Amino acid sequence: MSRSVAIITDSTAYLPKPMVERHGVVVVPLTVVLGGEALEDGTETAARRLALALGQKQPVTTSRPSPAEFAEAYREAAEAGARGILSLHLSSEISGTYDAALLAAREAPVPVRVVDSGMIAMALGFGVLAASDAVAAGGSLDDAVAAAVKRTEATRAIFYVDTLEHLRRGGRIGTARALFGSALSVKPLLELSGGRIEPLEKVRTASRAIARLEELAVEHAGAGPVDVAVHHLAAEERATQLAERLRGRLPGLVELHVSEVGAVLGAHTGPGLLGAVLSPR
């Protein structure tokens, strides 16, 4: 059954495929370029090839979807019966995806609200799901936008990386550049703040950094209902262990997702990434 309001996002939300299908969300993929070959973000092939490329120190770049790709998604949504579209995307401070969507929205056959979530990964994904739930409950386009904005503004994303080198190379660390000079002797904790990746704390060892990540996650989650996502890149054991500890410490836990990030985000963080996304309901 078609909905009067369509929800469109991009591949960096890293929503599980069954969830995308259940909520009827349309995903427009970004692209990762590995050694001159362009691959679609969000696929197992791209993730596998990324690990090899990073290990071999091959050039890795990423690119946004084109306005034409968004225009096609908007046209198809309108033809399927949508009378309005919410296009919700990763932070415009990290990618030009939001700008491409804005360009396409000008020529869309139905009203399109393009929203910069200021987030990435499931910090974006939870906003998408909140918007979808609002529409499923009979909400309007304005209701969907309000639900997405409210959810993303309450969401916190904290993550650990083994090194800031990949973020530095990609120009994605904002004022964290100031931290880089001492990063060789510390393990950095970072957060999404104001749409940017910013330094949060410096910890001396990986084990202490991950323990501190857990404590910050528990603090932000509080005692009320909360959804949690644990992300990783080539660190499945770390992610599983963190998820199980959080499961035992969060009294209001509603849903807990554990997933490996896709190639676009992974290209900028490198292997060893471990993240916690806390999204109060």
| pLDDT tens track for 15-42 | 988 999 999 999 999 998 887 788 888 7
On the question of pLDDT at 175 being above 60, the answer is: no
Q: Pick from 280, 197, 275: which is nearest to 14 by CA? A: 275
On the question of pLDDT at 244 being above 80, the answer is: yes
Which tokens is 254 given? 């509603």
On the question of pLDDT at 219 being above 50, the answer is: yes
Q: 43 in a domain, yes or no?
A: no
Do 139 and 160 lie in one domain? The reply is no
The pLDDT > 70 percentage for the chain reads 91
**What is the bridge-based pairing of β-strands 253-260 and 226-232?**
parallel
For the beta sheet containing 37-40, the strands, ordered from the edge strand earlier in sequence to the opposite edge, are 37-40, 31-34, 60-63
CA 280 to chain centre: 16
CB atoms inside a 10 Å sphere around CB 68:
11
CB of 35 within 8 A of CB of 58? yes
Do 199 and 123 lie in one domain? The reply is no
Q: Model confidence at 166, in pLDDT bands (50, 70, 90)? A: low
Do 108 and 183 lie in one domain? The reply is no
Domain boundary among 83, 118, 153: 153
pLDDT digits (tens, 9 = 90+) for 196-207: 888 888 888 889
Q: Give me the pLDDT at residue 176, please.
A: 47
Q: Give me the pLDDT at residue 127, please.
A: 98
Which tokens is 126 given? 């939870």
CB of 213 within 8 A of CB of 157? no
Residue 121 backbone class (left: φ over 0; alpha: ψ -120 to 50; beta: rest): left
Average pLDDT, integer, range 140-151: 98
Q: Pick from 160, 155, 123: which is nearest to 235 by CA? A: 160
CB atoms inside a 10 Å sphere around CB 112:
26
Average pLDDT, integer, range 37-55: 78
Average pLDDT, integer, range 120-140: 97
Q: How many helices (H) and strands (E) does the chain have?
A: 11, 13
Domain boundary among 153, 170, 200: 153
Amino acid letter for position 102 = L
Which tokens is 22 given? 């259940």
Q: Model confidence at 140, in pLDDT bands (50, 70, 90)? A: very high
Q: Model confidence at 54, in pLDDT bands (50, 70, 90)? A: confident
On the question of pLDDT at 49 being above 50, the answer is: yes
- Please give the Cα distance from 272 to 218 (Å, whole number): 21
Q: Give me the pLDDT at residue 181, please.
A: 46
Do 119 and 182 lie in one domain? The reply is no
Which tokens is 147 given? 């639900």
Do 197 and 86 lie in one domain? The reply is no
Residue 68, classed as helix, strand or coil, is helix
**Beta-bridge partners for 227:** 255, 279
The pLDDT mean for the chain works out to 89
Quote the Cα angle for 15-19-24, to 5°: 105
Full residue range of the structural domain in which residue 72 is found: 5-30+65-153
Q: Give me the pLDDT at residue 169, please.
A: 58
Q: Pick from 124, 146, 144, 121: which is nearest to 134 by CA? A: 144
Total domains in the chain come to 2
Do 129 and 193 lie in one domain? The reply is no
Average pLDDT, integer, range 144-148: 98
Q: Give me the pLDDT at residue 35, please.
A: 76
Average pLDDT, integer, range 217-237: 94
On the question of pLDDT at 56 being above 80, the answer is: no
